[in-house]
Structure 1
Amino acid sequence: MRIAICDDIPKELEKILAALDVYKEAHPELCFEIDQYSTALDILHAVEQGKGYDIAFLDICMPGILGTDVAGEMLAQSPDMGIIFLTISNEYAVAAFAMNATHYLLKPFSQAEFDMAMDRAVKKVMDCAFISLSCVDGMYRIRISEIVFIESQGHYLMLRLSSGEVLRMRKKIFQMFEELKKYSEFIQVGASYIANLSFVRKISVDTMKMYNGTNIPIPRRSSGKVQKAYMNFCRNEAMK
């Protein structure tokens, strides 16, 4: 995930980076690319040059321009971006939420408050994320959240979608997982499956039962890892 941080006070930038480090330790499945900006003009220039972000931390009160104005420019380019505003006052809260901000952090903020903001932003990104797929019958652009599971069959992958549709593509499963592993809901199960944990109804020592009725076999050597991943996923979902 690409994250932008914009604050004109260096110490505040450091605090956000430190909080992100703590969050990353708790979520090793997520990969972050972080850019820092000390002025609104710098981040706006980067966006104008084609720089795109999934999540942006924006101080509202910056010299020359409000963070809400910066957010407006960024959202015009990336409507699904998660915007987290930072401020020392509630003065601009109404304006912030009128822009459909993901969260609004009052300084000084606690790690728990920061984690809540990040959880919401990450969820928004995940829910809106798309992937382009070159399948045997053409190109598809689908939401990540539509994928229930992927099964390897010979030289092909069968992608089962929540709609019931099945897409067929020529690709190795480890290559597909490389594309999906940044999304916390996906896990590789043995050598033949990738499962979306959001669609798991029940998990046992040797079987993962999906809501569509499919039973995915869990290899004995992977059982502990898969069950732990599912418990962590459920725990994180419950905290959101």
Structure 2
Amino acid sequence: MIWVAICDDVRLQLHTIHQAAEGYFSKRHEKVECCAYDNAFKLLDDIEQKGDFDIALLDICMPGILGTDVAMEMRRRKCRAEIIFITTSDEFAIEAFSLKAVHYLLKPFSQADFNAAMNRAMERLTRYHSEKIIFKLVGCGVQTEELDHIMYVESKGHILQIHLVDGTILEVRQTLTHLMEALDKKAPGQFVSPAKGYIVNQEAIHIIKSDYIEVQGKCIPLAKRKYREFQENYFKFIFMRNA
């Protein structure tokens, strides 16, 4: 079952987006449940009480709270929904993609435009459920994790600390080079090394400065000689993901 949230304070627009979603899924084999909200706070309440959605279609300009703020709150709550912003203005585009939105759709949109945005969201969902890596934990045991759950890796002597999206830290005895090779084989270009002793998921980067990057509120050093190349590669990666 695929759970889709649609949020727009204008009832007519809400109906239009709902119809477009039904039109998209009518030609696919997935079971889907679309939940419509004309109040963004009700959407957040439902996420808190009932759990996450797979895809969220959010209007941006809504009374009381912007759709980008809704998305920011969803990310703060560790919601992994693929977000598509649907709005009348492109002024929020940069902020939208900083929140890892899969697409930014301008109103009025055609069914073809909507379908293209949804295809990107579905492709990400498929990758999210298929790309995994198995870690042999220090001490004993193994743990399988989705690649997108990995925020960053920090080397602590002969131990690697794997920091996950939910705040969990896994400890494995493995070289950083070997892990980087394994990650790059599964997801080319997604994981990078900003400085000695670190691997970072580019999807999780929030801020890039000349001497550090920020992931989950953690400041990770960025070698100054790498800054320009690192920034260019990041923009190229984000562009390709949203192309």
> TM-score, normalized by length of structure 1?
0.53
C-alpha contact (below 8 Å) 1:80/1:128 kept by paired residues: no
1:7 partner letter: D
SS at structure 2 position matched to 1:17: helix
User: Aligned equivalents of 2:73 and 2:42: distance in 1?
Assistant: 13
Residues 32 and 139 of structure 1, relative CA distance in 2, 3 Å threshold? farther
User: Aligned equivalents of 1:44 and 1:80: distance in 2?
Assistant: 13
CA RMSD of aligned residues (A): 2.5
Offset from partner CA, 1:104-132 (integer Å, 9 cap, x none): 0100001111001100011111111269x
What is the CA-CA distance between 1:140 and the residue it aligns to? 6.7
SS at structure 1 position matched to 2:105: strand
Who is 1:87 aligned against? 87
C-alpha contact (below 8 Å) 1:7/1:58 kept by paired residues: yes
1:71 partner letter: A
User: Aligned equivalents of 1:75 and 1:143: distance in 2?
Assistant: 17
Who is 1:19 aligned against? 20
* Stretches of structure 1 lacking an aligned partner (at least 5 in a row): 132-137, 145-162, 164-239
1:96 partner letter: A
Who is 2:126 aligned against? 126
Q: Does 1:10 align with 2:15?
A: no
Who is 1:100 aligned against? 100
1:45 partner letter: D
1:21 partner letter: E
Percent of paired sites with the same residue: 43
C-alpha contact (below 8 Å) 1:80/1:124 kept by paired residues: no
What is the CA-CA distance between 1:92 and the residue it aligns to? 0.9
When Rg is computed on C-alpha atoms for both structures, the one with the higher figure is 1
1:126 partner letter: T
SS at structure 1 position matched to 2:4: strand
SS at structure 1 position matched to 2:30: coil
Offset from partner CA, 1:127-185 (integer Å, 9 cap, x none): 11269xxxxxx9974659xxxxxxxxxxxxxxxxxx9xxxxxxxxxxxxxxxxxxxxxx
SS at structure 2 position matched to 1:61: coil
Who is 2:116 aligned against? 116
Offset from partner CA, 1:160-216 (integer Å, 9 cap, x none): xxx9xxxxxxxxxxxxxxxxxxxxxxxxxxxxxxxxxxxxxxxxxxxxxxxxxxxxx
C-alpha contact (below 8 Å) 2:52/2:80 kept by paired residues: no
Count of aligned positions: 140
C-alpha contact (below 8 Å) 1:130/1:141 kept by paired residues: no
Who is 2:137 aligned against? none
What is the CA-CA distance between 1:13 and the residue it aligns to? 1.0
SS at structure 2 position matched to 1:74: helix
C-alpha contact (below 8 Å) 2:52/2:81 kept by paired residues: no
What is the CA-CA distance between 1:6 and the residue it aligns to? 0.5
SS at structure 1 position matched to 2:43: helix
What is the CA-CA distance between 1:79 and the residue it aligns to? 4.8
C-alpha contact (below 8 Å) 2:52/2:79 kept by paired residues: no
Who is 2:71 aligned against? 71
Who is 2:171 aligned against? none
C-alpha contact (below 8 Å) 2:37/2:43 kept by paired residues: yes
* Stretches of structure 2 lacking an aligned partner (at least 5 in a row): 132-140, 148-181, 183-242
